[in-house]
């Protein structure tokens, strides 16, 4: 039996998953109009291949990948292109989007299926995953085919499928593991073949015994490992350390220690792409929080406005004070509910007006609790000070770019310092300055 190692730091947030953990996934019909952003991944905006007025089929390519780490986007409905224009995005910026009037017919584009896709060669599997626009669905949005394509001479010991889902409110991966274990196992096998990984390990936090049992029943020779529940157990570097005992070096990438991590939803999307010829045009979203009348998990067409998803969850039983996309620890507050669901939207969290009040911060008391919980072994209090005072070189020297933005420091700080906010600011500035011509 595999020995699961520990990782540095971490926290134990209140368990709030029970509200939706037992709620089966409900498929949500697409709204009358969908808004499909051309940026739903890291990298450059995809380039449109349709024009205003075009009729499109469900699953049809709307925009092709730009650059080495781009990803194409496809239509979640059949209908007519109404506009290609900037629209509000979850990031808070405007992003070019293709607006489509849904004809309600669900007429699919022709799909290339394969009855036994594990027989395909690595190149063909990668091609199908890439063409389907599959990206990391755990939040990162890194194009999956690019992540599975390793530099020459690199061999992989491990493909780790991440079923930890350690963010407190998320239960989308949990439900996928309970309801679609065969797809996840197939996706894992396909990704292992595509990357040449010698072994597959599916790692699940031990607060999901039904998901562990479900995958064990279908895993065959694939190893299923229960890891202790502690946030952020599902962080890429933290997971690799727990499963392999190897530490990804500062500034390094997982393949440098012979491992690649993919999320369970991404594994399922890879299976749908290669076996069924289905591009990534929908995803499961947890809708939860005190003001939500009927919290649950919904299979949502990409491009659906948040307002439509909240309606499906019974609407609000009281006025929300804040709506956050992607959870309490790492999520982003939204200005409006007209922004669409994207490939990386795992969770919509609504807070009451009382819950949404940001506590006043007080001066740092140098208690070092933020240091004790930081899984990246950083000094959050120092990084905050560098960010606040625009001392970006020092922030860089103190490892700001190694921050995984888990929010554990914010959670634990008794002075309620906005640590992560200033660290994010410093990271953005460091990256922006690196990209300036010298
Ligand atoms: S946890 Fe807060 S108060 Fe304590 S050292 Fe860190 S920033 Fe200062
Ligand atoms: S500094 Fe970054 S990695 Fe460390 S606890 Fe804070 S958010 Fe997490």
Q: State the DSSP string of 107-130.
A: PBPP----SSGGGS-HHHHHHHHH
CA of 381 to the centre of ligand 1 (A): 6
Give the position of tokens 């709204």: 31
Atom of ligand 2 nearest to the CA of 370: 5
CA distance 140 to 159: 17
Per-residue pLDDT at 325 exceeds 90: yes
Estimate to the nearest angstrom the gap between the alpha carbon of 94 and the chain centroid. 20
pLDDT for the residue numbered 436? 59
Give which of 2, 416, 392 is closest to 204, Cα–Cα. Answer: 2
For residue 213, what are the contacts with CB-CB under 8 A and spacing of at least 6?
none
CA distance 337 to 388: 31
Minimal-distance CA residue to ligand 2 atom 3: 403
Helix boundaries (H) for 132-228: 144-148, 172-179, 181-195, 209-218
- Residue to mutate, 139, 248, 378, 410, ligand 2, most ligand atoms under 8 Å from C-beta: 378
Tokens representing residue 414 in the block: 């008794």
- Residue to mutate, 415, 420, 423, ligand 1, most ligand atoms under 8 Å from C-beta: 415
Per-residue pLDDT at 173 exceeds 60: yes
401-423 average pLDDT score:
96
CB of residue 387 inside a 6 A radius of ligand 2 = no
CB of residue 420 inside a 6 A radius of ligand 2 = yes
Cα distances (Å, whole numbers) of residue 374 to 271, 371, 406: 35, 5, 9
3-28 average pLDDT score:
95
CA distance 29 to 108: 15
Per-residue pLDDT at 232 exceeds 80: yes
Model pLDDT for residues 238-247, shown as the tens digit of each residue: 999 999 999 9
CA of 228 to the centre of ligand 1 (A): 26
CA distance 218 to 161: 14
CA distance 135 to 67: 14
pLDDT for the residue numbered 231? 96
Quote the pTM value: 0.95
Query: Which stretch of 44-53, 223-232, 320-329 has the lowest confidence by average pLDDT?
Result: 320-329
Helices 181-195/264-276 angle, 10° precision? 80
For residue 266, what are the contacts with CB-CB under 8 A and spacing of at least 6?
134, 135, 136, 137, 138, 144, 187
pLDDT for the residue numbered 111? 96
Per-residue pLDDT at 117 exceeds 90: yes
The strands making up 296-301's β-sheet, listed across from edge to edge, are 25-27, 296-301, 282-288, 347-352, 320-325, 332-333
Model pLDDT for residues 247-295, shown as the tens digit of each residue: 999 889 999 999 999 999 999 999 999 999 999 999 999 999 999 999 9
| Phi–psi pair at 122, nearest 5 degrees | -55, -40
pLDDT for the residue numbered 316? 96
For the chain, the straight-line distance linking the first and the last C-alpha, in angstroms and rounded, comes to 52
Per-residue pLDDT at 437 exceeds 90: no
- Residue to mutate, 359, 361, 368, ligand 1, most ligand atoms under 8 Å from C-beta: 368
Give which of 123, 190, 201 is closest to 157, Cα–Cα. Answer: 201
Tokens representing residue 7 in the block: 């990782």
Per-residue pLDDT at 224 exceeds 90: yes
Give the position of tokens 């992560």: 420
* Structural domains of the chain sorted by starting position, each given as residue range(s) with its CATH number in brackets: 113-276 (3.40.50.11540), 369-435 (no CATH)
Tell me if 224 sits within 8 A of 162, measured CB to CB: no
Within 10 angstroms of residue 401's Cβ, the number of other Cβ atoms is: 16
pLDDT for the residue numbered 246? 96
Mean pLDDT across the chain, nearest whole number? 95
Cα–Cα–Cα angle for 375, 158, 213, rounded to 5 degrees? 85
CA distance 57 to 79: 7
The SS3 call for residue 364 is coil
pLDDT for the residue numbered 332? 87
Minimal-distance CA residue to ligand 2 atom 2: 403
């Amino acid at each position: 039996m595999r020995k699961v190692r520990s990782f540095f730091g971490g926290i134990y947030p209140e368990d709030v998953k029970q509200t939706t953990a037992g709620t089966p996934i409900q498929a949500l019909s697409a709204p009358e109009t969908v808004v499909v952003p051309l940026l739903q991944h890291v990298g450059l905006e995809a380039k449109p291949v349709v024009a205003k007025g075009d009729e499109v089929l469900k699953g049809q390519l709307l925009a092709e990948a730009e650059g080495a780490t781009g990803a194409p986007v496809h239509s979640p409905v059949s209908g007519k292109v109404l506009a290609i224009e900037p629209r509000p995005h979850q990031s808070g910026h405007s992003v070019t989007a293709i607006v489509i009037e849904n004809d309600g017919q669900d007429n699919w584009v022709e799909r290339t299926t394969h009855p036994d896709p594990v027989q395909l060669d690595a190149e063909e599997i990668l091609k199908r995953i890439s063409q389907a626009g599959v990206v990391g669905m755990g939040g990162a949005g890194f194009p999956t085919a690019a992540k599975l394509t390793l530099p020459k001479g690199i061999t992989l010991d491990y493909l780790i499928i991440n079923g930890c889902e350690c963010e407190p409110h998320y239960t989308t991966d949990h439900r996928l593991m309970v309801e679609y274990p065969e797809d996840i196992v197939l996706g894992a096998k396909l990704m292992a073949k595509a990357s040449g990984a010698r072994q597959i390990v599916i790692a699940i936090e031990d607060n999901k015994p039904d998901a562990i049992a479900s995958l064990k029943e279908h895993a065959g020779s694939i190893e299923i490992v229960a890891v202790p529940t502690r946030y952020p157990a599902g962080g890429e570097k933290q997971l690799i350390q727990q499963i392999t005992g190897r530490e990804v070096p500062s500034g390094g990438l997982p393949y440098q220690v012979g491992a690649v991590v993919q999320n369970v939803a991404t594994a399922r999307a890879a299976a749908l792409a290669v076996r069924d010829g289905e591009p990534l045009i929908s995803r499961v979203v947890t809708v939860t929080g005190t003001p939500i009348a009927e919290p649950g998990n919904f299979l949502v067409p990409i491009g659906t406005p948040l307002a439509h998803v909240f309606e499906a969850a019974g609407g609000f039983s009281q006025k929300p004070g804040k709506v956050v996309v992607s959870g309490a620890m790492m999520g982003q507050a939204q200005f409006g509910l007209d922004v669409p669901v994207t490939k990386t939207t795992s969770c919509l969290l609504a807070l009451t007006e009382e819950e949404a009040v940001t506590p006043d911060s007080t001066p740092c008391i140098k208690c070092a609790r933020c240091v004790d919980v930081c899984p990246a072994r950083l000094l959050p209090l120092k990084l905050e000070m560098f960010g606040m005072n625009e001392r970006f070189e020092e922030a860089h020297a103190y490892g700001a770019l190694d921050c995984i933005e888990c929010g554990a420091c914010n959670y634990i700080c008794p002075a309620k310092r906005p640590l992560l906010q200033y660290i994010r600011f410093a990271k953005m500035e460091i990256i922006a300055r690196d990209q300036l011509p010298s």
